């Protein structure tokens, strides 16, 4: 499946409202849920033993096309939550109906090249504060 058509929406944390899709999404991050391997071997063991630790989603940065701070641009929609550290509920919606849902505080910044014809991207890094739920569509 191509990433074409993936949407990223947000809403107030815990609200029953609809997600507001952020415009001009350009790139989605990998979401790693690999649990940490924690060594916990008793002194009497002949081989090391491991337990499954907590997962770390890694650094999740979404990229958006930046055309300036219009009223409905991603920077305008997320800047207050960034400035105040407010948690929002987020949802990635894939073309096949798969949903990835989590709560996070967004951190808005710019990625830019240093010369002529270099694109300026808006970056939104997610500081995850919940589990990441993957909801598969019904068959």
- Give per-residue pLDDT as tens, 10-43: 999 999 999 999 999 999 999 887 889 999 999 9
Domain with 24 in it: 7-32+58-135
- Asked whether residue 40 is domain-assigned, the answer is no
- How confident is residue 114, by pLDDT bands cut at 50, 70 and 90? confident
- Asked whether residue 39 is domain-assigned, the answer is no
- Asked whether residue 2 is domain-assigned, the answer is no
- Asked whether residue 87 is domain-assigned, the answer is yes
- Asked whether residue 15 is domain-assigned, the answer is yes
> Cβ contacts of residue 97 below 8 Å, gap of 6+?
136, 137
**Residue 56 pLDDT:** 85
Beta bridge partners of 123: 63, 109
- Asked whether residue 125 is domain-assigned, the answer is yes
Contact (CB, 8 A) for 122 and 75: yes
- In the chain, the number of structural domains is 1
- Asked whether residue 41 is domain-assigned, the answer is no
Whichever domain contains 63, its CATH number is: 2.30.110
- Asked whether residue 26 is domain-assigned, the answer is yes
């Amino acid at each position: 499946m191509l990433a074409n058509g993936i949407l990223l929406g947000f809403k107030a944390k815990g609200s029953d409202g609809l997600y507001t899709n952020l415009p001009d999404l350009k790139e989605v991050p990998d979401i790693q849920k690999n649990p940490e391997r924690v060594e916990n071997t008793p002194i009497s063991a002949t081989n090391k033993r491991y337990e499954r630790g907590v997962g770390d989603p890694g650094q999740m940065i979404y990229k958006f096309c930046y055309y300036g701070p219009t009223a409905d641009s991603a920077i305008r929609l997320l800047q207050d939550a960034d400035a105040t550290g407010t948690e929002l509920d987020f949802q990635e919606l894939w073309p096949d109906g798969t949903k990835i849902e989590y709560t996070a505080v967004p951190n808005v910044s710019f990625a830019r090249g240093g010369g002529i014809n270099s694109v300026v991207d808006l970056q939104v890094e997610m500081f995850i504060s919940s589990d990441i739920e993957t909801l598969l569509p019904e068959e």
